[in-house]
Structures are given as structure tokens and as C-alpha cells.
Amino acid sequence: MIFTANCALFPIYLFAIWFIVFLVVFLVRIAKNHRLLTQLQTISSTNTNRELELLKNQLMEEYRIRRPIQIQYCALLSTPIISNIVYTIIFLLQTKLSEQYTEFVLCHELIHCRRNDIFYKYLLLFIKSFYWFNPLLFLFARIFHERREISCDKSLLDGHSRKDQFEYAKRIAGFAGYTKPELMAGFYCAHTTERRIAAIATMCSGSRSHRKKTKVFTSATFFLLFVILILMTANCKVLRIALGKWMEIIHITML
């Protein structure tokens, strides 16, 4: 009987281990990114360039972005990034950039804002922490972020000349080797520079409807892959038993 009781409690121990690891991983990552964001805000300076502010407002109107967005300069950054969901901050490099390239950078960041990429990063962080034992989700998250960057590039360069596309690709090549915090979106995503440049190089003059169909197909494919991965993980028998036992204990305790 003792052996039977131990077997019944074993899934509960597994559930406790899973929950503790999930909580620690999620809270540590949130705290780490919050601390880094606070440090960046401390050493950054607010934008005082009126022309850049007018350009930002014009682009926000074009992209129909209503929430407040602030531009700050940070000398220690090697790549532009954005952070925060509600009150968004765009961190730009302190170095002097050409007018056209500055507009490219700002457009890229605002496209991230319009698509709520920071929200999806938080959501994926939660899911990765929740399913910390499933390596396929980590691979999916990396591919997803990479595709978001490439999608932003294509949306930005749509309609521009090959010369502009070449100059843009040459600029982002300079960010190779740099990484950024997990909960921040920006101009560069680690380990994707080559793929982004290759995607820009293969941009063709196909019709807009064809590119739209391709984008919809790609998004649908990644969404279905994500759902399949979740269902595969949710089908874990041990986890289901552990959750059932835990709920049963809670129900008995409340009676």
C-alpha cells in the first residue's frame, strides 16, 4: 500500500518541479530585462532633434500608431532597439547617421510597434518558460523572431530602388555579432544577419498581391506549426496526470 501511495504522489512531485522551474525561469528573465531597461534609461538622453521628432510623428500617423513613443539616444548600444508595450521607447545609436538611413531605422522600429512585436516576445517568453522542457518551442521562437525581422525589412523596402535596398543591407551587415535583450525588439536579431541580407537580395519585382499571398501563407504556416507544438506538448501524459492530481488535492482541501 505504501508503494501504491508513493506512485500516486510521484506525478505531484513532477508537477512541483515543473512549476518551480517555470516560475524561476520566467521571473528571472523578466527581472533581468527590467533591470537592463532601467540601466539603459539611466544612461540614455532624450531626443532633442525637432526634425527627427516631426519625422517620427509623421510616420506614426502613416502607420496609425496611437500610443506614445519616445526616442532616446544611448552611446553604449551597438544596434537600435525598442522596448515596453504600452509606453514604447526607441533607443537609437549616438553616432551620426545619414538622413535616409535614420528614416530607415525609425521606420523599421515603428513597424515593430505597429505589429506589437514586443507583446509577442513577452507571450513567447511565457510559453517557453511554461514549456521549458520542450526544446522545439525554443527553436520555433528563434525562427519566429527571425521571420519577424525579415518581414519588417521587406515591408520597409517595398517600393524602394535596388540601390536603397543594397545600402540598407550593407548597413545591417555592420550589426553582425551583436545581440540584444530577449524582451526587446529592434533592428538586429542575433544570428539572422545573413538570412536578412539574403532575403533582401532575393526581393523581386513581383506584384503586391503575390507578395501579400506569400506573407499570409508564411504566417499561417508558422501559426499552424506553433499550434501543433503546443498540442504535442499538452499531450504529455505525465503532466496531465500531475495537473489532475494537483487539482484533486486542491478540491479535497477546499471541501
Q: What integer pLDDT is reported at residue 248 of this predicted model?
A: 54
Q: Among residues 90, 129, 128, which one has the least CA distance to residue 111? A: 90
Partners of 91 in the beta sheet?
A: 72, 81
Phi, psi of 3 (to 5 degrees): -65, -40
Please tell me whether the overall predicted TM-score, pTM, comes out greater than 0.85 for this model: no
Q: Among residues 5, 93, 113, 107, which one has the least CA distance to residue 55? A: 107
Q: What integer pLDDT is reported at residue 27 of this predicted model?
A: 94
Phi, psi of 69 (to 5 degrees): -135, 130
Q: Among residues 45, 107, 53, which one has the least CA distance to residue 75? A: 45
Residue 22 to residue 2: CA distance in whole angstroms: 30
Residue 9 to residue 30: CA distance in whole angstroms: 32
Helix (H) or strand (E) holding 76: none
Q: What integer pLDDT is reported at residue 26 of this predicted model?
A: 93
Residue 139 to residue 84: CA distance in whole angstroms: 24
- What is the DSSP code string of 102-136? HHHHHHHHHHHHHTTHHHHHHHHHHHHHHTTT-HH
- What is the DSSP code string of 169-187? HHHHHTTTT----TT-EES
Residue 38 to residue 83: CA distance in whole angstroms: 11
Q: What integer pLDDT is reported at residue 255 of this predicted model?
A: 47
Q: What integer pLDDT is reported at residue 15 of this predicted model?
A: 82
Tens of each residue's pLDDT in the chain, 255 residues:
444 444 445 578 788 888 999 999 999 989 988 888 888 888 888 888 888 899 999 999 988 888 889 999 887 777 788 887 778 889 888 777 777 788 888 999 899 888 888 888 888 889 889 888 888 888 888 888 888 888 888 888 888 888 888 888 887 777 655 555 665 655 445 466 778 888 888 875 444 544 555 556 566 666 666 666 666 555 555 555 544 554 454 444 444
